[in-house]
Amino acid sequence: MAAFICLLKVFIILTTISYWYPNGRNPKCLVNANHVNSEVDSVHKDYLNSDGNQWIYECVNEKCVRRHYNKLKKFNKSMSFLTCSMTCGDIKIWPYPTIETRVQKKSLKFTLDTILLRLHVTHGRVMTDFHSVFNIFLDDLKGIQSRQTSTDLHHDELDSKNASALEYGRERDIDMFRINVFINNFADLKLSLETDEINARHYDANITANSFYGARHALSTLQQLVWFDEREHSWLTLSKIDIKDAPRFRYRGLMLDTSRHYFSVDAIKRTIAAMSHAKLNRFHWHITDSQSFPYVSKHYPELAEYGAYSRKETYTLDNIRDVTSFAKLRGIQIITEIDAPAHAGNGWNWGPDKGLGELALCVNQQPWTKFCGQPPCGQLNPKNNNTLLILQKLKNTALPTKMDLIPLLAKALIILLTVSQWKLKGLNPQSLRNGYGVQYINYSESAENKWLYGCINKACVRRHYLNVKKFDNPMSFLTCSMTCGSVKIWPYPTNEARVQAKLLKFNLNSILLQSLIPNSPSKRYFQSVFKIFLDDLNGIQSRQTSTDLHHDELDSKNASALEYGRERDIDMFRINKLYEELLDATETTDYFHLGGDEVHKNCWAQYFRPIKVKDLWYQFTLDAADRLTIANKNITPKFITVWSSDLTKKFRSPQSRFAIQVWTGQRDARELITKGYNVIYSENAWYFDCTSGSDLSEYNWESISDIGCRSWQTVYKHSPLEYLPNYSKQILGGEACLWTEQVSEWQVDGRLWPRAAALGERQVLNISIYVPLWSDPKQNISVFERMSIFRNRLVEFGIKAEAIYPQYCVQNPGECHMKYKDN
Q: What is the pLDDT of residues 120-138, one digit of tens each?
A: 887 778 889 999 999 999 9
Structure-model confidence comparison of residues 673 and 814, the more confident one: 673
Q: What is the DSSP string of 258-293?
A: -SSS---HHHHHHHHHHHHHTT--EEEEEEE-SS--
Residue 541 binned pLDDT confidence (cut-offs 50, 70, 90)? confident
Least confident of 559-563, 753-757, 808-812: 559-563
Of the ranges 41-55, 153-167, 292-306, the best mean pLDDT one: 292-306
Digit-coded pLDDT (tens) for 410-420: 444 333 333 34
- Indicate if the pLDDT at residue 704 is higher than 70: no
Query: Nearest CA to 475 among 456, 488, 490, 497?
Result: 456
CATH number of the domain located at residue range(s) 251-349+574-688+708-768 in this protein = 3.20.20.80
What pLDDT, on a 0 to 100 scale, did the predictor assign at position 616?
87
Residue 310 binned pLDDT confidence (cut-offs 50, 70, 90)? very high
Just list the catalytic residues: 598
High-pLDDT (> 70) share of the chain, %: 68
Query: Nearest CA to 358 among 382, 324, 322?
Result: 382
- Indicate if the pLDDT at residue 649 is higher than 90: no
What pLDDT, on a 0 to 100 scale, did the predictor assign at position 265?
97
High-pLDDT (> 90) share of the chain, %: 28
Domain ranges of the chain: 52-89, 90-150+171-245, 251-349+574-688+708-768, 449-492, 769-822
Q: Across residues 79-106, what is the average pLDDT?
A: 86
Q: How far apart are CA 119 and CA 768, in angstroms?
A: 42
Q: Across residues 367-382, what is the average pLDDT?
A: 92
Q: Determine whether domain 90-150+171-245 maps to CATH 3.30.379.10.
A: yes
Structure-model confidence comparison of residues 77 and 233, the more confident one: 233
Name, in order, each residue with C-beta under 8 angstroms of 744's C-beta and a sequence gap of 6 or more: 261, 263
Q: Across residues 723-746, what is the average pLDDT?
A: 84
- Indicate if the pLDDT at residue 580 is higher than 70: yes
Q: What is the DSSP string of 366-423?
A: SSGGGT-SSSSP-EE-TT-HHHHHHHHHEE--PPP-HHHHHHHHHHHHHHHHHHHHHH
For 679, the 3-state DSSP assignment is strand
Name, in order, each residue with C-beta under 8 angstroms of 410's C-beta and a sequence gap of 6 or more: none
For residues 290-313, b (16+ Cβ closer than 10 Å) or e, as one string? bbbbbbbbbbbbbbbbbbbbbbbb
Q: How far apart are CA 79 and CA 109, in angstroms?
A: 14
- Indicate if the pLDDT at residue 165 is higher than 80: no
Q: How far apart are CA 226 and CA 180, in angstroms?
A: 16
Digit-coded pLDDT (tens) for 33-81: 455 455 545 544 544 444 556 788 988 888 888 888 765 555 567 789 9
Q: Across residues 299-308, what is the average pLDDT?
A: 93
Query: How many CB atoms sit inside 10 A of residue 236's CB?
Result: 23
What pLDDT, on a 0 to 100 scale, did the predictor assign at position 150?
73
What pLDDT, on a 0 to 100 scale, did the predictor assign at position 603?
92
What pLDDT, on a 0 to 100 scale, did the predictor assign at position 293?
96
49, exposed or middle or buried, with CB in 10 Å at 0-12, 13-18, 19+?
middle
Residue 83 binned pLDDT confidence (cut-offs 50, 70, 90)? very high
Least confident of 108-117, 133-142, 536-545: 536-545
For residues 335-367, b (16+ Cβ closer than 10 Å) or e, as one string? bbbbbbbbbbbbbbbbbebbbbebbbbbbbbee
Q: How far apart are CA 195 and CA 241, in angstroms?
A: 5
Structure-model confidence comparison of residues 131 and 515, the more confident one: 131
Are 738 and 689 a contacting pair, CB within 8 Å?
A: yes
Digit-coded pLDDT (tens) for 591-619: 889 998 889 989 998 988 777 888 888 88
For 595, the 3-state DSSP assignment is strand
Q: Across residues 10-31, what is the average pLDDT?
A: 57
Q: How far apart are CA 303 and CA 300, in angstroms?
A: 6
- Indicate if the pLDDT at residue 407 is higher than 60: no
The per-residue pLDDT of the chain, averaged, comes to 75
198: left (phi over 0), alpha (psi -120 to 50) or beta: alpha
Are 809 and 64 a contacting pair, CB within 8 Å?
A: no
